[in-house]
Copies of this chain bind each other. A is one copy, B any other.
Amino acid sequence: MLKCGLKTPVFSDFLNVDIKEMKNDLLIRAAKGEQVERIPVWMMRQAGRILPEYRAVRSSVNGFKELVKNPELICEVTLQPVDILGVDAAIIFSDILVIPEAMGLNYEMIESKGPNFPKTITSEQDVAELTTDVIPNLEYVFESLRLTKSALNGRVPLIGFAGAPWTIFSYMIEGKGSKTFSQAKKMLYTNPVLAHQLLDKITTATIAYLQEQIKNGADIVQVFDSWAGVLSKAQYVEFALPYMNRIAAAITAVPVILFAKDAHYILTEFAQTNANVIGLDWTIEPAAARAQTKGKTLQGNLDPCVLYADKATIKKETEKMLQSFGGQQYICNLGHGVYPDVNFEHAKYFIEVVQDYKL
Protein backbone atom coordinates (compact mmCIF):
# COMPACT_ATOMS: atom_id res chain seq x y z
CA MET A 1 0.00 0.00 0.00
CA LEU A 2 1.62 3.20 -1.15
CA LYS A 3 1.44 6.10 1.25
CA CYS A 4 3.43 8.50 -0.86
CA GLY A 5 1.91 8.25 -4.32
CA LEU A 6 2.41 11.35 -6.44
CA LYS A 7 -1.22 10.97 -7.39
CA THR A 8 -2.44 10.76 -3.81
CA PRO A 9 -4.22 14.07 -3.21
CA VAL A 10 -3.84 13.97 0.55
CA PHE A 11 -0.08 14.30 0.22
CA SER A 12 0.20 16.32 -2.95
CA ASP A 13 -1.22 19.24 -1.02
CA PHE A 14 1.97 19.42 0.98
CA LEU A 15 4.37 19.40 -1.96
CA ASN A 16 6.80 22.30 -1.76
CA VAL A 17 4.99 23.61 1.26
CA ASP A 18 7.38 24.87 3.90
CA ILE A 19 6.43 23.11 7.07
CA LYS A 20 7.03 25.72 9.72
CA GLU A 21 6.24 23.72 12.75
CA MET A 22 7.90 20.41 13.42
CA LYS A 23 6.05 18.30 15.95
CA ASN A 24 9.18 16.46 17.07
CA ASP A 25 12.34 18.50 16.59
CA LEU A 26 14.43 16.76 19.26
CA LEU A 27 17.06 15.64 16.75
CA ILE A 28 17.59 19.14 15.39
CA ARG A 29 17.78 20.69 18.83
CA ALA A 30 20.22 18.05 20.06
CA ALA A 31 22.32 18.54 16.92
CA LYS A 32 22.49 22.28 17.58
CA GLY A 33 23.46 21.70 21.20
CA GLU A 34 20.16 23.01 22.51
CA GLN A 35 18.51 21.60 25.62
CA VAL A 36 16.29 18.54 25.09
CA GLU A 37 13.76 16.94 27.43
CA ARG A 38 14.59 13.45 26.20
CA ILE A 39 17.25 11.85 23.98
CA PRO A 40 16.41 11.63 20.25
CA VAL A 41 17.08 8.27 18.59
CA TRP A 42 17.28 6.88 15.08
CA MET A 43 19.21 4.03 13.46
CA MET A 44 21.56 4.07 10.53
CA ARG A 45 20.03 1.82 7.82
CA GLN A 46 16.69 1.98 9.60
CA ALA A 47 15.05 2.24 6.18
CA GLY A 48 15.70 -0.70 3.96
CA ARG A 49 16.94 -3.56 6.01
CA ILE A 50 14.97 -5.12 8.80
CA LEU A 51 11.26 -4.42 8.26
CA PRO A 52 8.98 -7.00 6.64
CA GLU A 53 7.17 -4.02 5.09
CA TYR A 54 10.43 -2.97 3.42
CA ARG A 55 11.04 -6.47 2.10
CA ALA A 56 7.58 -6.45 0.56
CA VAL A 57 8.39 -3.25 -1.33
CA ARG A 58 11.86 -4.52 -2.24
CA SER A 59 10.48 -7.71 -3.73
CA SER A 60 8.02 -5.72 -5.85
CA VAL A 61 10.83 -4.18 -7.89
CA ASN A 62 13.54 -5.62 -10.08
CA GLY A 63 16.72 -4.98 -8.12
CA PHE A 64 18.01 -2.46 -5.60
CA LYS A 65 18.73 0.27 -8.12
CA GLU A 66 15.19 0.29 -9.43
CA LEU A 67 14.08 1.05 -5.88
CA VAL A 68 16.72 3.77 -5.42
CA LYS A 69 15.33 5.58 -8.48
CA ASN A 70 11.64 5.32 -7.60
CA PRO A 71 10.55 8.38 -5.55
CA GLU A 72 7.19 6.97 -4.50
CA LEU A 73 8.72 3.77 -3.18
CA ILE A 74 11.56 5.70 -1.57
CA CYS A 75 9.02 7.80 0.26
CA GLU A 76 7.22 4.64 1.34
CA VAL A 77 10.27 2.87 2.77
CA THR A 78 11.60 6.08 4.32
CA LEU A 79 8.39 6.48 6.32
CA GLN A 80 8.17 2.85 7.42
CA PRO A 81 10.56 3.10 10.39
CA VAL A 82 8.86 6.30 11.54
CA ASP A 83 5.50 4.54 11.51
CA ILE A 84 6.59 1.14 12.74
CA LEU A 85 9.62 1.75 14.98
CA GLY A 86 8.72 5.23 16.18
CA VAL A 87 12.17 6.71 15.52
CA ASP A 88 12.75 10.44 16.03
CA ALA A 89 13.92 11.07 12.46
CA ALA A 90 13.43 9.78 8.94
CA ILE A 91 16.51 9.28 6.75
CA ILE A 92 15.87 9.34 3.03
CA PHE A 93 16.30 5.89 1.50
CA SER A 94 19.08 6.14 -1.06
CA ASP A 95 22.63 4.98 -1.77
CA ILE A 96 25.94 6.83 -1.42
CA LEU A 97 26.91 5.58 -4.89
CA VAL A 98 24.38 7.78 -6.67
CA ILE A 99 27.11 10.47 -6.69
CA PRO A 100 29.73 8.60 -8.73
CA GLU A 101 26.93 7.58 -11.06
CA ALA A 102 25.74 11.17 -11.43
CA MET A 103 29.36 12.15 -12.14
CA GLY A 104 29.46 9.66 -15.00
CA LEU A 105 30.60 6.38 -13.47
CA ASN A 106 27.85 3.80 -13.59
CA TYR A 107 27.61 0.96 -11.14
CA GLU A 108 25.55 -2.16 -10.70
CA MET A 109 24.40 -3.63 -7.41
CA ILE A 110 25.00 -7.37 -7.38
CA GLU A 111 22.64 -9.26 -5.08
CA SER A 112 24.33 -10.43 -1.87
CA LYS A 113 27.71 -9.27 -3.19
CA GLY A 114 27.52 -5.49 -3.27
CA PRO A 115 28.32 -2.74 -5.75
CA ASN A 116 30.42 -3.20 -8.87
CA PHE A 117 31.75 -0.50 -11.22
CA PRO A 118 32.38 -1.96 -14.68
CA LYS A 119 34.77 0.95 -15.34
CA THR A 120 37.01 2.47 -12.66
CA ILE A 121 39.15 5.61 -12.55
CA THR A 122 42.77 5.01 -13.52
CA SER A 123 43.96 8.13 -15.37
CA GLU A 124 43.87 11.92 -15.51
CA GLN A 125 41.65 11.56 -18.58
CA ASP A 126 39.16 9.50 -16.55
CA VAL A 127 39.01 12.21 -13.89
CA ALA A 128 38.68 14.96 -16.50
CA GLU A 129 35.69 13.21 -18.04
CA LEU A 130 33.71 13.23 -14.79
CA THR A 131 31.15 15.98 -14.37
CA THR A 132 30.48 17.92 -11.19
CA ASP A 133 27.20 19.20 -12.60
CA VAL A 134 25.32 16.39 -10.89
CA ILE A 135 22.06 18.06 -9.91
CA PRO A 136 20.20 17.33 -13.18
CA ASN A 137 21.10 13.65 -12.82
CA LEU A 138 19.78 13.35 -9.28
CA GLU A 139 16.28 14.70 -9.69
CA TYR A 140 14.87 11.36 -8.50
CA VAL A 141 16.49 11.93 -5.11
CA PHE A 142 15.14 15.47 -4.82
CA GLU A 143 11.68 14.38 -5.83
CA SER A 144 11.90 11.65 -3.19
CA LEU A 145 12.81 14.24 -0.58
CA ARG A 146 9.91 16.51 -1.53
CA LEU A 147 7.45 13.65 -1.43
CA THR A 148 8.76 12.36 1.86
CA LYS A 149 8.90 15.78 3.45
CA SER A 150 5.33 16.32 2.46
CA ALA A 151 4.18 12.92 3.68
CA LEU A 152 6.00 13.35 6.98
CA ASN A 153 3.98 16.47 7.55
CA GLY A 154 6.36 17.73 10.20
CA ARG A 155 6.19 14.64 12.39
CA VAL A 156 9.98 14.24 12.61
CA PRO A 157 12.99 15.77 10.85
CA LEU A 158 14.14 14.39 7.52
CA ILE A 159 17.83 13.47 7.24
CA GLY A 160 19.67 13.81 3.92
CA PHE A 161 23.05 12.23 3.34
CA ALA A 162 26.03 11.63 1.11
CA GLY A 163 29.14 9.49 1.15
CA ALA A 164 32.34 11.21 2.24
CA PRO A 165 34.76 12.07 -0.58
CA TRP A 166 37.33 9.47 0.55
CA THR A 167 34.72 6.69 0.63
CA ILE A 168 33.32 7.65 -2.78
CA PHE A 169 36.88 7.87 -4.14
CA SER A 170 37.56 4.36 -2.77
CA TYR A 171 34.73 2.86 -4.77
CA MET A 172 35.59 4.80 -7.92
CA ILE A 173 39.17 3.46 -7.87
CA GLU A 174 38.65 0.01 -6.37
CA GLY A 175 35.46 -0.64 -8.34
CA LYS A 176 33.90 -2.72 -5.56
CA GLY A 177 33.96 -3.36 -1.83
CA SER A 178 37.24 -4.52 -0.30
CA LYS A 179 38.66 -5.40 3.10
CA THR A 180 41.75 -3.29 2.52
CA PHE A 181 40.88 -0.88 -0.34
CA SER A 182 44.54 -1.37 -1.22
CA GLN A 183 44.06 -0.24 -4.83
CA ALA A 184 42.41 3.02 -3.77
CA LYS A 185 45.14 3.61 -1.19
CA LYS A 186 47.79 2.75 -3.76
CA MET A 187 46.84 5.88 -5.70
CA LEU A 188 47.37 8.03 -2.60
CA TYR A 189 51.01 6.93 -2.56
CA THR A 190 51.67 6.62 -6.29
CA ASN A 191 49.72 9.57 -7.70
CA PRO A 192 48.68 11.95 -4.92
CA VAL A 193 48.12 14.80 -7.38
CA LEU A 194 45.54 12.84 -9.34
CA ALA A 195 43.99 11.60 -6.08
CA HIS A 196 43.49 15.18 -4.94
CA GLN A 197 42.00 16.14 -8.32
CA LEU A 198 39.44 13.39 -8.03
CA LEU A 199 38.70 14.10 -4.36
CA ASP A 200 38.22 17.77 -5.22
CA LYS A 201 35.69 16.97 -7.95
CA ILE A 202 33.81 14.55 -5.70
CA THR A 203 33.68 17.21 -2.98
CA THR A 204 32.32 19.85 -5.35
CA ALA A 205 29.62 17.46 -6.54
CA THR A 206 28.82 16.38 -2.99
CA ILE A 207 28.38 19.92 -1.69
CA ALA A 208 26.03 20.75 -4.56
CA TYR A 209 24.15 17.53 -3.92
CA LEU A 210 23.73 18.17 -0.19
CA GLN A 211 22.68 21.77 -0.75
CA GLU A 212 20.04 20.64 -3.22
CA GLN A 213 18.85 18.00 -0.75
CA ILE A 214 18.38 20.78 1.80
CA LYS A 215 16.43 22.92 -0.70
CA ASN A 216 14.18 19.94 -1.27
CA GLY A 217 13.43 19.17 2.33
CA ALA A 218 16.40 17.75 4.25
CA ASP A 219 16.44 19.23 7.77
CA ILE A 220 19.90 17.92 8.61
CA VAL A 221 22.55 16.04 6.62
CA GLN A 222 25.01 13.26 7.44
CA VAL A 223 28.27 12.53 5.63
CA PHE A 224 29.26 8.84 5.81
CA ASP A 225 32.96 7.98 5.64
CA SER A 226 32.46 4.24 5.67
CA TRP A 227 36.04 3.32 4.72
CA ALA A 228 37.89 5.85 6.86
CA GLY A 229 39.32 3.00 8.91
CA VAL A 230 41.72 1.81 6.20
CA LEU A 231 43.64 5.10 6.36
CA SER A 232 46.37 6.13 8.75
CA LYS A 233 45.89 9.40 10.58
CA ALA A 234 48.48 11.10 8.35
CA GLN A 235 46.60 9.94 5.25
CA TYR A 236 43.24 10.94 6.64
CA VAL A 237 44.59 14.38 7.44
CA GLU A 238 45.97 14.73 3.91
CA PHE A 239 43.33 13.04 1.77
CA ALA A 240 40.06 13.05 3.67
CA LEU A 241 39.88 15.73 6.35
CA PRO A 242 40.30 18.77 4.04
CA TYR A 243 37.29 17.62 2.03
CA MET A 244 35.19 16.91 5.13
CA ASN A 245 36.15 20.39 6.29
CA ARG A 246 35.02 21.90 2.99
CA ILE A 247 31.67 20.18 3.18
CA ALA A 248 31.10 21.15 6.81
CA ALA A 249 32.02 24.76 6.01
CA ALA A 250 29.80 24.94 2.93
CA ILE A 251 26.64 23.59 4.56
CA THR A 252 25.37 26.36 6.82
CA ALA A 253 21.59 26.14 6.40
CA VAL A 254 21.13 22.97 8.45
CA PRO A 255 23.20 20.97 10.97
CA VAL A 256 25.86 18.61 9.64
CA ILE A 257 26.79 15.19 11.05
CA LEU A 258 30.22 13.73 10.20
CA PHE A 259 30.62 9.99 10.69
CA ALA A 260 33.94 8.33 9.89
CA LYS A 261 33.76 4.68 10.82
CA ASP A 262 36.86 3.24 12.51
CA ALA A 263 38.67 6.60 12.37
CA HIS A 264 39.26 6.69 16.13
CA TYR A 265 42.29 8.92 15.54
CA ILE A 266 40.41 11.86 13.99
CA LEU A 267 37.98 13.01 16.68
CA THR A 268 40.06 16.00 17.80
CA GLU A 269 40.31 17.21 14.20
CA PHE A 270 36.59 16.68 13.55
CA ALA A 271 35.88 18.83 16.60
CA GLN A 272 37.66 21.71 14.81
CA THR A 273 35.36 21.55 11.77
CA ASN A 274 32.09 23.44 11.37
CA ALA A 275 30.11 20.22 11.75
CA ASN A 276 27.58 20.16 14.58
CA VAL A 277 27.60 16.45 15.26
CA ILE A 278 30.27 13.75 15.27
CA GLY A 279 29.15 10.16 14.75
CA LEU A 280 30.94 7.37 16.62
CA ASP A 281 31.27 3.65 16.08
CA TRP A 282 31.17 1.27 19.07
CA THR A 283 34.95 0.99 19.39
CA ILE A 284 35.01 4.53 20.78
CA GLU A 285 34.50 5.02 24.51
CA PRO A 286 31.96 7.81 25.19
CA ALA A 287 34.13 9.49 27.85
CA ALA A 288 37.17 9.53 25.57
CA ALA A 289 35.08 10.99 22.75
CA ARG A 290 33.62 13.70 25.00
CA ALA A 291 37.12 14.70 26.11
CA GLN A 292 38.25 15.12 22.48
CA THR A 293 35.19 16.87 21.06
CA LYS A 294 34.20 19.65 23.45
CA GLY A 295 31.28 21.71 22.17
CA LYS A 296 30.09 19.14 19.65
CA THR A 297 27.06 16.90 19.83
CA LEU A 298 27.93 13.20 19.65
CA GLN A 299 25.95 10.50 17.88
CA GLY A 300 26.12 6.75 18.35
CA ASN A 301 27.29 4.16 19.20
CA LEU A 302 25.62 0.91 20.27
CA ASP A 303 27.16 -2.22 18.78
CA PRO A 304 24.54 -3.35 16.22
CA CYS A 305 24.99 -6.90 17.56
CA VAL A 306 23.38 -5.90 20.86
CA LEU A 307 20.06 -6.08 19.00
CA TYR A 308 20.55 -9.84 18.66
CA ALA A 309 20.32 -10.16 22.44
CA ASP A 310 17.25 -10.57 24.65
CA LYS A 311 15.35 -7.51 25.84
CA ALA A 312 17.01 -7.41 29.26
CA THR A 313 20.45 -7.24 27.63
CA ILE A 314 19.31 -4.63 25.10
CA LYS A 315 17.99 -2.49 27.94
CA LYS A 316 21.11 -2.92 30.07
CA GLU A 317 23.57 -2.17 27.25
CA THR A 318 21.53 0.77 25.94
CA GLU A 319 21.08 2.42 29.31
CA LYS A 320 24.77 1.95 30.13
CA MET A 321 25.56 3.82 26.92
CA LEU A 322 23.02 6.60 27.56
CA GLN A 323 24.47 7.12 31.00
CA SER A 324 27.99 7.33 29.59
CA PHE A 325 27.08 9.93 26.97
CA GLY A 326 24.77 11.95 29.19
CA GLY A 327 21.45 13.30 27.99
CA GLN A 328 22.43 16.58 26.31
CA GLN A 329 24.44 17.20 23.13
CA TYR A 330 23.73 13.62 22.26
CA ILE A 331 21.81 11.73 19.56
CA CYS A 332 21.31 8.06 20.21
CA ASN A 333 22.07 5.68 17.35
CA LEU A 334 23.84 2.43 16.61
CA GLY A 335 27.56 2.55 15.91
CA HIS A 336 26.91 1.44 12.31
CA GLY A 337 23.96 0.35 10.19
CA VAL A 338 21.48 -2.10 11.71
CA TYR A 339 22.24 -5.66 10.53
CA PRO A 340 19.73 -7.20 8.09
CA ASP A 341 18.99 -10.28 10.21
CA VAL A 342 18.05 -8.32 13.32
CA ASN A 343 14.49 -8.94 14.52
CA PHE A 344 12.70 -5.62 14.05
CA GLU A 345 10.91 -6.11 17.38
CA HIS A 346 14.31 -5.88 19.05
CA ALA A 347 15.10 -2.69 17.15
CA LYS A 348 11.76 -1.30 18.21
CA TYR A 349 12.51 -2.18 21.81
CA PHE A 350 15.86 -0.38 21.60
CA ILE A 351 14.04 2.76 20.39
CA GLU A 352 11.55 2.45 23.26
CA VAL A 353 14.28 2.08 25.87
CA VAL A 354 15.90 5.30 24.68
CA GLN A 355 12.61 7.17 24.54
CA ASP A 356 11.63 5.99 28.02
CA TYR A 357 14.97 7.01 29.52
CA LYS A 358 14.45 9.79 32.05
CA LEU A 359 16.85 12.72 31.90
Asked whether A305 lies within 8 Å of B186 as measured between CB atoms, the reply is yes
Which residues in B have their C-beta under 8 angstroms from that of A309? 189-190
**In chain A between 301 and 340, which residues have their CB closer than 8 angstroms to a CB of chain B?**
303-306, 308-310, 313, 317, 339
Q: Which of the 9-residue segments A31-39, A156-164, A195-203, A227-235 touches chain B?
A: A227-235
Could you say which of A180, A188, A190, A303 has the most chain B C-beta atoms within 10 Å of its C-beta? A303
Asked whether A282 lies within 8 Å of B232 as measured between CB atoms, the reply is yes
**In chain A between 120 and 165, which residues have their CB closer than 8 angstroms to a CB of chain B?**
none
Given the known interface contacts A189-B309, A190-B310, the answer about A182 and B262 at a Cβ–Cβ threshold of 8 Å is no
Complex: chain B residue closest to A304, CB-CB: B182
Which residues in B have their C-beta under 8 angstroms from that of A339? 180, 182
Complex: chain B residue closest to A307, CB-CB: B189
Complex: chain B residue closest to A308, CB-CB: B186
| Chain B nearest CB, measured from A344 CB (Å) | 16
Asked whether B235 lies within 8 Å of A264 as measured between CB atoms, the reply is no
**In chain A between 278 and 305, which residues have their CB closer than 8 angstroms to a CB of chain B?**
282-285, 303-305
CA distance A38 to B308 in the complex (A): 51
User: A265 at the A/B interface (Cβ < 8 Å)?
Assistant: yes
| Chain B nearest CB, measured from A178 CB (Å) | 10
Asked whether B265 lies within 8 Å of A262 as measured between CB atoms, the reply is no
Asked whether B233 lies within 8 Å of A308 as measured between CB atoms, the reply is no
User: A179 at the A/B interface (Cβ < 8 Å)?
Assistant: yes
Which residues in B have their C-beta under 8 angstroms from that of A189? 305-306, 308-309, 313, 317
CA distance A233 to B262 in the complex (A): 13
Bin chain A's interface residue count: 20 to 34
Give the contacting residue for A303; candidates B185, B229, B304; CB below 8 A: B185
Complex: chain B residue closest to A228, CB-CB: B283
Complex: chain B residue closest to A186, CB-CB: B308
Which residues in B have their C-beta under 8 angstroms from that of A341? 182
Asked whether B308 lies within 8 Å of A190 as measured between CB atoms, the reply is yes
Contact with B along A79-112 (1 / 0, CB 8 A): 0000000000000000000000000000000000
Which residues in B have their C-beta under 8 angstroms from that of A304? 180, 182
CA distance A190 to B310 in the complex (A): 7
Give the contacting residue for A262; candidates B186, B232, B262; CB below 8 A: B262
Contact with B along A162-193 (1 / 0, CB 8 A): 00000000000000000110100110111000
- Report, nearest first, the 6 A-B pairs whose CB atoms are least far apart: A189-B309, A185-B305, A186-B308, A232-B282, A264-B264, A182-B339
Of the A-B pairs whose beta carbons lie under 8 Å apart in the complex, a sample of 15, sorted by A's number, is: A182-B304, A182-B341, A185-B305, A188-B305, A189-B309, A189-B313, A189-B317, A190-B308, A229-B283, A232-B282, A232-B303, A235-B303, A262-B262, A264-B283, A265-B283
